[in-house]
Amino acid sequence: MSPGSYISFALHLGFVGWLVFSGDFSRKPSELSVADVSVISSEVFDIMVNNSSPEISTAIPSAEAIPVVEAAVGPSTPQVDEAPVQVPQGLSQISPGDALPSRRPDAVAPVQDVVILPPVELQAPRMEDSAQQPLQTSLPPKPRPAQRIAPTAIAAPDIEMDLGAQSREAAAPQEAPAEVAQAQEAQAPEAAAPEIVTEAEKPSAAPVVTANAPERSVRPRSRPAPPAAQVPEPAAVEPESSQIDPVTAALNAALMAGDEAPVGPEAAAAPLAEQFIRGMQRAIAECWNLGALSSAALSTIVVVEMELTRDGKPIANTIKMLGFEGGDDTSAERAFETALRAIQGCGAQGFDLPKDQFATWRRVELTFNPEKMRVR
Amino acid sequence: MKRLIYFGVLAFGLWTGAGMAQNGPLRIEITDGVIEPLTFAVPMFEAENIEAVTIATEMSRIVANDLSSSGLFREVPPSRFIAQRSSFAEPVRYPDWRAINTQALVTAAVKTTSFGRLTVKFRIFDIYSGVQLGSGMQLSGSTKAVRRMAHKVADQVYARITGEGPYFDSKIVFVSESGPKDQRLKRLAIMDYDGENLQFLTGNENTVLAPRVSSDGQQVLYTSWETGFPQIYLLDVSSAARKRLPTPDNGMAFSPRFSPDAKRMVYSFEQGGNTDIYLMDLASARSARMTSSPSIDTAPSFSPDGRSIVFESDRSGTQQLYVMPVTGGTPKRISFGNGRYGTPVWSPRGDLIAFTKQSNGRFGIGVMRTDGSEERLLSASFLDEGPSWSPNGRVIMFTRETQGPKGAPSLYSVDISGRNLRALNLRSPASDPSWGPVLP
């Protein structure tokens, strides 16, 4: 073996020994530094992007406690008839020997930190889309669970209506009457006495269509003044009327030409037949459910305006409240929501209206007057 | 020239009129509708962690039961659901819910956190309109307060949709009864509005009657035979400590009721066969006489503004209702119907007075305006009496006693419309309910 081999052997031996006894093999591994990563919701991300912080309130939502108003005339010193009875001064404490209840109430666990979340965008399906298109459910609609469990055959299931049935009856919530009767039976057994006046006065589920003409309706004062459609009566200008007819006709013809409705002036100006007005009243009334309204909202008349498509369907983003009467803003909002549900619930398939008079019913102003329905 | 101008104006008027006739809306008035419970669905709350699964199930059931119990809502059973929600953040498929005739949808998620805390967040959707109603909300509380938090959720849903104030998260103090009818033992108890979490406030050694909760729910006035004579006691709910209020010993004191600020009390005091109404300042314990007539004046109740009281009196020969200012004055009779009226209670909203009416051999609970107009009877049975208002003034709870040797009292509630008459499911006989405020 050459001296070089000895030297190489010794150097390798020394290097290996250094590694084993004093090198990195005996050292603890260095700790990894890990950054916390969390998934945030899209709402939080939106807030971060918009550089706004969510509104967080630690207040408990309003509990609508009993309103307590101090009397203006100091009730603490009532001027009553007399004070003939001599009463002891100070409260008398019950003697310690008195029996106390064996069970004391536990402290009620408080609900704290009620927070109002910022508005959340859910990319929900647009209402107008579903109002003008057949409903697309996520599961095949047949068989319906309700049909399997219903004791009797259901005349017009919702899903059939939703898939394009044209009959107006199909637009009503069908099972409601039967289930209401069931609930009443379960909840109020022997109380159905003749003396329960309000139960006896309960309005029928089948609405009665009134023959009230629109002109005679009660209207909120806050509603904008309607345009005077029939103001210029031809009879009021007997001598000249015949002379200006050609001018008026020409002006009207020009106006018609610029209008969206491709109907003749005669059809546009003709009043809608009573049967169509009644049909629309009936259809909306069937879905105008006042059963979950507050007493205040039941005393509120709301006027709602909407536009219809040519096939008589409400255009969702045109439905708005023009005004209200008889309540505050909150009750008006609740009453409007109820009206909205009625319009959209029973108008989804389109109201039965003559297509050649589209210009007459393209815009509809509905006055929802619960006078006959309210809780007195 | 004038003729030409006249023609011009006339032509313009007709032109505008024609335009208006074409563009003016069709006007229709809707005066008839339907009165039905609003259909709603509460899919099982999403549990955001494994510890919250049981709680989520329980809370969703409580919320659904609360809403259904109001009579204003009807639940769409989960077996009919088409949409199977998997995540709280998932968009709502409105067509799926419309297809099963659901009008309102409540979605929620529950998560437990460290230190026994629980968070529930929820949203309300109007299915027909295809919109979320208001903002999403969330509540946080102890895991021991699951029922309360569920009641709070239901309260928010109820208030948002109906416009009424909440009332589910509230307590009721009442008289719990046991034993045979002729030896009935009575003691004060407190429970949730739906009968859960029953706890006793007094022992059953002494007969107690007519508890009345203060507007903050912290105190209870009641009548007890503890001294062998009916006297009025004040009880602190949290500690169950009680003390007798200093009414004279030479007569019977009963039928107490707090003023809205709970600083005063009106009550009846009988002496020598004459019963009148007195007003006591609870801080100074001074009493002042409010009525002075040779008749039985009793069952006083404050108006919510504290300025008036309503009470029953037979000063006219029959038992009728009267209203008078707290500052004194001549009582004004407000009831004029056939029969006898008693136990009037002013609504917390101030618009109605509930009462018990006896006529034609039956008892019923009724309401009338504060001037006595628009009287309506809501119930009728062998014996209905002692109405008490829910905190929002929408529901009345009362005692109904059945006839016969085995007859027993129980608690009933009814909507002020007269609908949704229902019995509270309790294990033992109960009477004299007093509905407390919505808890903070």
* Residue B4 covered by a domain: no
**The pLDDT of residue A1:** 63
> Does residue B7 fall inside a structural domain?
no
Q: Indicate whether B112 and B238 sit together in one domain.
A: no
Please list every residue in chain A whose beta carbon sits closer than 8 Å to the beta carbon of residue B101: 158, 173-176
State the residue range of the domain holding B227. 170-438
**Cβ-nearest to B139 among A71, A114, A173:** A114
B239 with B375, same domain: the answer is yes
Question: Domain boundary at B136, B162, B188, which?
Answer: B162
B148 and B205: one domain? no
Residue B27 lies in a domain: no
In this structure, is residue B14 part of a structural domain? no
Q: B253-296: per-residue pLDDT in tens?
A: 999 999 999 999 999 999 888 999 999 999 999 999 999 989 99
What is the pLDDT at residue A169? 37
Residue B33 lies in a domain: no
Query: Domain map of chain A by residue range?
Result: 269-368
Claim to verify: residue B181 and residue B224 sit in the same structural domain: yes
Pick B14 or B413 by higher pLDDT. B413
The CATH number of the domain holding residue B431 is 2.120.10.30
- Which residue, among B153, B30, B155, has the nearest Cα to A290 in the 3D structure? B30
| Residue B414 placed within a domain | yes
Task: Give the closest of A63, A125, A345 to B438, CB-based.
Answer: A63
pLDDT at B264: 96
**pLDDT reading at A202 higher than 80:** no
Give the percent of chain B with pLDDT over 70: 94
Question: CB-CB: which of A68, A116, A138 is closest to B215?
Answer: A68
Instruction: Say which amino acid occupies B322.
Output: Y
Q: Are both B231 and B108 inside the same structural domain?
A: no
- Report the C-alpha gap between B174 and B185 in whole angstroms: 13
* Whether residues B193 and B139 fall in one domain: no
CA distance B223 to B254: 6
Q: Which of A192-206, B74-88, B215-229 has the lowest mean pLDDT?
A: A192-206
Any domain includes B273: yes
Which pTM does this prediction carry?
Answer: 0.69
Tens of pLDDT along A4-36?
A: 888 888 888 888 878 777 655 545 444 443 434
Q: What is the dihedral of CA B349, A194, B75, B78, to 10 degrees?
A: 160
Q: Measured in whole angstroms, how far is the alpha carbon of residue A28 from the centre of its chain?
A: 64
pLDDT number for residue A22 = 61
**Which residues of chain A have a CB within 8 Å of the CB of B285?**
87-91
- What phi, psi does A223 have (nearest 5°)? -70, 140
Is residue A189 very low, low, confident or very high in pLDDT (cuts 50, 70, 90)?
very low
Region B163-192: mean pLDDT is 93
Q: Looking at mean pLDDT, say which of A191-205, A317-331, B299-313 comes out highest.
A: B299-313
A363 DSSP β-pair partners: A307
* Residue A188 touches partner B, C-beta closer than 8 Å: yes
Interface of B with A in 155-194 (CB under 8 A): 155-156, 159, 161-166, 169, 171, 187, 190
Amino acid at residue number B260: P
Which residue, of B111, B133, B162, is where some domain finishes?
B162
Token pair for A59:
């207040």
Q: In the prediction, which pLDDT does A67 show?
A: 31
Residues 6+ apart with CB under 8 A from B180: none
Average pLDDT over all residues of chain B: 91
As for the ipTM of the complex, it is 0.82
Same domain assignment for residues B152 and B233:
no
Residue-level pLDDT at A12:
87
Contact B131 A284 (CB under 8 A): no
Q: A126–B130: do the CB atoms touch at under 8 Å?
A: yes
A245-256: b (≥16 Cβ within 10 Å) or e: eebbeebbeebb
Task: Output the pLDDT for position A288.
Answer: 93
Q: Is the pLDDT of residue A126 over 90?
A: no
Q: Where are the alpha helices (DSSP H) in chain A?
A: 3-22, 42-49, 127-132, 145-149, 158-162, 176-187, 197-200, 238-258, 265-269, 274-287, 329-346, 358-361
In eight-state DSSP terms, residue A290 is: -
Q: Chain B: nearest CA to A221, how far in angstroms?
A: 15
Is pLDDT above 70 for B10?
Answer: no
Please judge whether B288 and A68 are an interchain contact, meaning their C-beta atoms are less than 8 angstroms apart: no
Residues B158 and B128 reside in one and the same domain: yes
Calculate mean pLDDT across residues B109-136.
91
| Domain containing residue B75: CATH number | 3.40.50.10070
Q: Which of residues 247-286 of B touch A (CB under 8 A)?
A: 247-248, 259-261, 263-264, 269, 271, 278-281, 284-286
pLDDT at A95 over 50: no
Mean pLDDT on B197-214 = 92
Residue B198 has pLDDT above 90, yes or no: yes
Q: Once rounded to an integer, what is the mean pLDDT over residues B69-86?
A: 90
Q: Is the same domain home to B352 and B405?
A: yes
Q: Which chain B residue's Cα is nearest to A375?
A: B417
pLDDT tens across B315-369, in order? 999 999 999 999 989 999 999 988 999 999 999 999 999 999 999 899 999 999 9
For chain A, say whether B232 makes contact (Cβ under 8 Å): no
Q: What contacts A111, CB < 8 A, 6 or more positions away? A: A60, B139, B140, B141, B145, B148, B149, B152, B169, B439
% residues pLDDT > 90 (chain B): 78
Closest Cα partner for B336 from B350, B354, B318?
B318
E strand segments, B60-197: 73-75, 104-113, 117-126, 131-132, 137-142, 170-178, 185-192
Residue B20 belongs to a domain = no
**Residue B381 gets which letter from DSSP?**
B
Residue A49, number of CB atoms within 10 A of its CB: 8
With contact defined as beta carbons under 8 Å apart, do B138 and B121 qualify? yes
Considering the domain architecture, whether residues B115 and B44 belong to the same structural domain is answered as: yes
Q: Which residues, other chains included, contact B435 with Cβ-Cβ below 8 Å and sequence gap of 6+?
A: B167, B170, B172, B193, B213, B388, B389, B390, B391, B397
Residue ending a domain, among B144, B162, B180, is: B162
Whole-number mean pLDDT of chain A? 56
- Whether domain A269-368 has CATH 3.30.1150: the reply is yes
